[in-house]
Amino acid sequence: MAYPGSRYSGGGRPGTWPGHPSGPLPSAPLPSAQPSWPARPPHPSGPLLAPRPQPQPLPQPTSGRPLRPGRGIARLVLPVLVLSLIALGALAVIALWWRSTPRPTTTGAEITAAGDVLGLLAGYGFVVLVALMARLPPLEKGIGTDRLARWHAMGGRYVITLVCAHVPLIVWGYAVSAHEKVTSEAVSLLTTYPDVLMATVAWFLLLGVAAFSARAARRRIAYETWYYAHLYTYLAIALAFSHQFADGPAFRSDAQARIAWSALYATVGALIVWYRVLTPLLRSARHRFTVQSVRPEGPGVVSVFIAGRNLDRLRAEPGQFFRWRFLTRELWWQSHPYSLSAMPSPNQMRITVKARGEHSGSLADLAPGTRIIAEGPYGAFTPSLTGRRVLFIAGGVGITPIRAMFAALPKQMSGGIILLYRASSPRDVVFSRELNAIATDRQAALRYLIGSREELGYDPLETENLQRAIPGLHRYEAYVCGPAGMTQTAVAALREAGIPSRRIHHESFDL
């Protein structure tokens, strides 16, 4: 998803859905019921709005999980419950420290006690961080991968801070109590205390992971480098674990605390193995995913058609994604997230990928018959039936999950669906013929907003322009997907227009 080599994709069937246009976007009159756009000078390479062509037949929706009634309240409650559970766990850790720590009577003991509680909280924090990325279905579908990843990133900063405070406080506290220099006490800890050397190696590994995860570094390194550097976190946790029992006052003489702490780590470890290793292998053996064909869709954009068995039993929802591992010599060792843009049929799925990195760029060369291991479906960026009118805003290749949602809405919502598709130039538009046909079938409003802000002289997604084009905008349920800057602009404009945050659903290419 939000990594170099984006996950956003499209869907359909070869030979059934019309292909990508080879020339300018087609034109035809728009129904008068569609909202008007503010009058502006035309884009130099074509009209700001490229109307859709005459109706083309669409296949019936393929099987899969039907849209469910509105889940806005559930999606608000579950994050609160999860965060409350995490907070209660932190309070339990503090209670464990309080019970096991004698009241300090000297300065050195006070400093050491502070270091102890920070170390305990850091050990608990690592468990939470791993659990957030364990790809547990209830969390993935109820909270969403984007939000979980943001929590993980924010929590990672806190945990690294706790560790970096824990280490000097322990050394300082021991030095004060022993009336030694800090440097000599640090050497003593490394050479005489059990497992402290391993814990120190773990600390440096975590500092390296933090450096690779910094926003400035992420922009300069490949996703693969970042991903595999991140895996050293597991090694760091393993190295530091025994140190907690050997040196932590909360565990040295409390067997029950050791059992509970071990059970916490073992449970999260088992969830990781089950959902990130065994489940994908079992699912791939059951459904037998293979590459059926690859088709160009536009400059740097290809569709990969994936064959399999009983794909409807995956119960994927429109807008969700899978993590795909293509078993070729070059690609088998890495998995990347790409979205579906149509519900799977019993024997076929499609992803459509823009070349944004080494992995995504190599998908154009996939050979038919290539075997695939797939994890998923994941993600909470899915539509639900709320009874409100629906507004989709897509930018660039962010149209791909939106396309699945656009096609999945029922026909009885005719007149209540609007799709705004933002692109820098006509060449960047993907699925125009498919979108046009879906819009005609649904009698939905489809708007291509083409051109940069500099070329147009204004931003079509600013609040004033959106309100002028869409009367009653504040009554809509909105779904936004695209590059981070566009997504932030659109979400801010929708909020300013009066749409509550709970009715604005968004994903972007960057976490």
The domain locations on the chain are 72-282, 287-378, 390-508
**282-291 pLDDT per residue, tens:** 999 999 999 9
Higher pLDDT, 55 or 370: 370
Higher pLDDT, 143 or 24: 143
The CA-atom distances, in angstroms, between 416 and each of 401, 406, 411 are 19, 12, 10
Of residues 178, 173, 194, 179, the one with CA closest to residue 114:
173
Which are the contacts of 193, defined by CB distance < 8 A and separation ≥ 6? 246, 247
In the sheet where 504-508 sits, what is the strand order? 445-450, 417-423, 390-395, 477-482, 504-508
pLDDT at 72: 53
pLDDT at 384: 78
Confidence band of 37 (pLDDT split at 50, 70, 90): very low
What is 72-282's CATH topology? Four Helix Bundle (Hemerythrin (Met), subunit A) (1.20.120)
The CA-atom distances, in angstroms, between 483 and each of 8, 143, 399, 423, 506 are 11, 21, 11, 11, 11
pLDDT at 500: 93
Tokens of 251: 């565990």
Tokens of 456: 């147009």
**391-437 pLDDT per residue, tens:** 999 998 889 899 999 988 877 665 589 999 999 888 889 998 999 99
Give the chain's length: 511
Specify the CATH superfamily of domain 287-378: Translation factors (2.40.30.10)
Give percent above pLDDT 70 in the chain.
84
Confidence band of 74 (pLDDT split at 50, 70, 90): low
Q: Is the pLDDT of residue 71 over 60?
A: no
Helix 182-192 and helix 196-213, axial crossing angle in degrees, nearest 10 = 110
Q: Is the pLDDT of residue 81 over 90?
A: yes
Q: CA-CA distance, 319 to 338, in Å (whole number)?
A: 10
Tokens of 390: 């629906």
CATH class in words for 390-508: alpha beta
Which are the contacts of 329, defined by CB distance < 8 A and separation ≥ 6? none
Q: What average pLDDT does the structure give for the chain? A: 82
Higher pLDDT, 37 or 257: 257
Decide: 298 and 430 in contact? Cβ < 8 Å: yes
**306-342 pLDDT per residue, tens:** 999 999 899 888 888 999 999 999 899 888 889 997 7
Which are the contacts of 170, defined by CB distance < 8 A and separation ≥ 6? 112, 115, 116, 119, 189
Give this prediction's pTM.
Answer: 0.76
**85-127 pLDDT per residue, tens:** 999 999 999 999 999 888 888 999 999 999 999 999 999 999 9
Q: Is the pLDDT of residue 447 over 70?
A: yes
Q: CA-CA distance, 275 to 289, in Å (whole number)?
A: 18
**178-196 pLDDT per residue, tens:** 999 999 999 999 999 889 9
> SS3 for 325?
strand
> SS3 for 295?
strand
Looking at the DSSP bridge assignments, the partners of residue 43 are 46
Decide: 326 and 332 in contact? Cβ < 8 Å: yes
pLDDT at 225: 79
